[in-house]
């Protein structure tokens, strides 16, 4: 599902209970992460739940690095947050990832005010991990 669809669906829901259910549904749409990818190298540190992010770098037609991301979590709502972060960043050029503010998306959806501090820290950890991978991809072609 693309980010615009997710935002539209999210904004359609008035009740937070419905929004949480939608997040759980989003998590169920994630492409399965191979069992071998559930490893320490892919584990995101700083998350209360277990979260894994797998990053594959390809290039666009101009040779710029593009990050293809897959992820998973052992918690339903967190898995939905992973899906939201992946919708924002996956298949994007590394430079775009570095310039994109996930916090702005979470604020516009009202999630910043409705996530526990632990979950907010986990989201920041996921975003920082993706941006670290994007910086490494940019440096590799420089």
47 is catalytic: yes
> Nearest Cα to 79, choosing from 41, 118, 120, 49?
49
d(Cα 46, Cα 95) in Å, to the nearest integer? 24
How crowded is residue 51: how many other Cβ atoms within 10 Å of its Cβ?
Answer: 26
> Nearest Cα to 70, choosing from 96, 42, 98?
42
Q: Give the active site residue among 23, 26, 44, 47.
A: 47
CB of 103 closer than 8 Å to CB of 128: no
CB of 43 closer than 8 Å to CB of 96: no
Which positions are annotated as active-site residues? 47
């Amino acid at each position: 599902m693309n980010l615009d669809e997710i935002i539209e669906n999210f904004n359609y829901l008035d009740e937070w209970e419905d929004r949480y259910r939608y997040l759980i549904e989003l998590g169920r749409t994630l492409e399965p992460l191979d069992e071998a990818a559930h490893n320490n190298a892919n584990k995101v540190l700083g998350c209360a739940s277990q979260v894994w992010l797998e990053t594959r770098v390809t290039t666009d037609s101009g040779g710029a690095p593009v990050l293809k991301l897959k992820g998973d979590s052992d918690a339903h709502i967190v898995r939905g947050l992973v899906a939201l972060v992946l919708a924002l960043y996956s298949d994007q050029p590394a430079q775009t990832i570095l310039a994109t503010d996930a916090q702005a998306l979470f604020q516009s959806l009202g999630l910043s005010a409705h996530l526990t501090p632990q979950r907010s820290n986990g989201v920041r950890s996921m975003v920082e991990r993706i941006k670290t991978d994007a910086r490494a991809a940019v440096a590799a072609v420089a």
